[in-house]
Amino acid sequence: MKKSILLAILIVSILTVSLPAATLTDNFNSGLSSANWGTFQVNAVGAPWTIAGNSGALQIAKSADNDSSTMNQNIIAGLLSNFTLQGDFSAAINFNLQTFPLAPAYGWNEAQFKIVTQQGGEFYALRYTNNADQRAEAFCNVSPYVINSMVNSTTLGKFKITRQGNTMAAYMDNGTNEILLGQVSSQLFLGNATVQLLVANVWDYPGPRPNTALDVRFDNFTATADSIIVPEPMSVLLLGLGGLLLSRRKK
């Protein structure tokens, strides 16, 4: 009888112990990890994207182009995570905007740190340029969409996105202090979450899109979550590119 009681207490104790959070890091020193990331790109003719390890960082870059056939679409490239974050999490990435000019007329040049959830939620921390200034923004695919947008010319810093329950928050660290870009709650932000690191010439009405050169470096990715699932190598080959939306709507 005593053994049964002790066993029951032990089982209850095991079930109620708080397990340590999982952590995943990637400094890209050995190039791109196929276990962690897949790549995606839409190229302009004559100016294909470079997605590669470069001097211990991830480089996503393109040259200026004159491709008239793609002036009314987004030219975009980056990494899509094969791993998924579960529960509450904090994910961060350093960025270096080496070539990041103003958009010549319409649209935006963008460097995006993006979370996509199983429920269809999308949440961004980003730096972008329009034809007038450089800005930082928190954006999502639920109202109010543009959560906050501010003039900001940080070229060397860190993006961070956190989730607590169904609340997402975006931050940017400029090397001096961490700025809350914005936060919002939605049931769409629940469920497994994947990470995207994207750079783009983004089209906006009436166009054309920016055709400028871009060179963005990402480095020192880190994520801490209740749990992190990294698929087996064979499973990675079967993953699709679902969840990547090729355009964002502002305002």
- Domain membership of residue 103 as a residue range: 19-238
Structure confidence at residue 20 (pLDDT)? 63
Comparison of pLDDT for 120 and 237, the residue scoring more: 120
Q: Which amino acid is at 125?
A: A
What phi and psi, each to the nearest 5 degrees, are found at residue 11? -65, -45
Residue 182 lies in a domain: yes
- pLDDT tens for 158-210 read 999 999 999 999 999 998 999 999 999 999 999 999 999 999 999 999 999 99
Q: How many domains would you assign to the chain?
A: 1
Residue 192 lies in a domain: yes
The model carries a pTM of 0.86
Residue 14 lies in a domain: no
- pLDDT tens for 108-163 read 999 999 999 999 999 999 999 999 999 999 999 999 999 999 999 999 999 999 99
Residue 10 lies in a domain: no
CATH number, domain with residue 65: 2.60.120.200
Structure confidence at residue 82 (pLDDT)? 97
Confidence band for 21, pLDDT divided at 50, 70 and 90: confident
Instruction: Name residues whose C-beta falls within 8 Å of residue 186's C-beta, 6 or more positions apart in sequence.
Output: 121, 140, 142, 166, 168
